[in-house]
Structures are given as C-alpha cells and as structure tokens.
Structure 1
C-alpha cells in the first residue's frame, strides 16, 4: 500500500537564505522567529520553518497557491521584517523557488 499522492502543482515553495552582519546573529534570529510564528497563521501556509546553519539561517516556506503567497507578502509582519532585516543582513536576501521531488 502506497501513501496517497498529494498534488504539488498549485503549491508554491521557496527557500530564502539570510546571512547576518557579524555580531547581529541574535537580533536576526529573533526577527526570524517572530516572522515564523506570525506567518504560520497566514492563510494558505503549508510550511514556514527557519533553520540555522551556524550563523546563517534558511527559511523553507510552502503555500497552497500563489495567491496565498501574494497575500502573505502584503501582511504587516512581513513588511516590518523586510524593513528591519535590511540593517541586520550582510547581503540582501534572495528568494529561491524550489520544487518538491515527490
């Protein structure tokens, strides 16, 4: 018996990395933790988890539909994070679309 297949076609998955300026790891971690907590409540959120790799952080986020992601990006907590993290990052973050293999 195999597990039921879930349709990934409409889902949107992203993987933005965040590299803090030296000495700003803790404030960036706190900002990412707050963003994670609030974003998990946004409509259509499938996954929103921040991972630490030493001082670098990687966010894995999944959304049911592009429209859910679009709505998420207009939320105050996302806009506030983007404004706050600009001063905390060693380089601007980029958002990389990813696709599940199965």
Structure 2
C-alpha cells in the first residue's frame, strides 16, 4: 500500500454526520441512509462512505465519509441524490443532523 503524504491528507475531506430518528421513524431513516450510501459511493473522489448504527443510542446513525479532494465533497453536495436526501429526511429527524469535520492522524 502506498504511503500517504501530509499534503494528500490535507487535501482530503473527512466528515462524520450524525442523524437521530424521530420515534417510529427509525426504519425509514435507515432505508434513506442506505440509499444515500449506495448512490454516494459512486460519486467521483469518494474514498469512504459508510453508515453505522449507534449501538449505544437506538435510532441514531453515524455516517463516516471521506473524499480525495475538497472539490469532490463540494461536487457530491450538489448531486441530486444528496439534495433530495437532505430535503426528504427532515421529517424523519428528531433534531437537525450534525456534521463534524475530522482529520486523520498521520505518521511523522
């Protein structure tokens, strides 16, 4: 496996959005997130796009996503499948979803 340089890592974009379903809407949110995951994995520059269920908080889902370049993330956010997800998921959420930007640690 090739070595990742600091400049490559700095150019990447990594995010961790968290979604919490309204009571009774867990299955619908789960399905919507799986659809988003499937479509987004095909987007240019996608390094990682995986949805997890939070074992400690039922009805809470964590998305782990990585993009080769920040421009790839920006283009992803303009895709119809993302815009439709964001609009359609609002009624399923107990609160607005949060997005945390994260950075992988590198060896020096």
* TM-score (ref. length: structure 1): 0.94
User: How far off is 1:5 after superposition?
Assistant: 2.5
Once residues 52 and 71 of structure 1 are traced to their aligned partners in structure 2, the CA distance between those partners, rounded to angstroms, is 26
- What residue is the counterpart of 1:74 in the other structure? 78
Does the residue aligned with 1:83 lie in a helix, a strand or coil? helix
- What residue is the counterpart of 2:102 in the other structure? 98
* Aligned-CA RMSD value: 1.0
Higher helix fraction (1 or 2): 2
Number of residue pairs the alignment of both structures matches: 100
What does the per-residue CA deviation read over 1:21-42, in whole Å, with 9 as the maximum and x for residues that have no partner? 0010000000000000000000
Q: Which runs of 5+ in 1 are unaligned?
A: none
Once residues 22 and 34 of structure 1 are traced to their aligned partners in structure 2, the CA distance between those partners, rounded to angstroms, is 21
Once residues 73 and 32 of structure 2 are traced to their aligned partners in structure 1, the CA distance between those partners, rounded to angstroms, is 19
Please list every run of at least 4 consecutive aligned residues from structure 1 whose deviation after the TM superposition is greater than 6 angstroms: none
* TM-score (ref. length: structure 2): 0.89
What does the per-residue CA deviation read over 1:28-86, in whole Å, with 9 as the maximum and x for residues that have no partner? 00000000000000000000000001321000000011100000000000000001110
Q: Which runs of 5+ in 2 are unaligned?
A: none
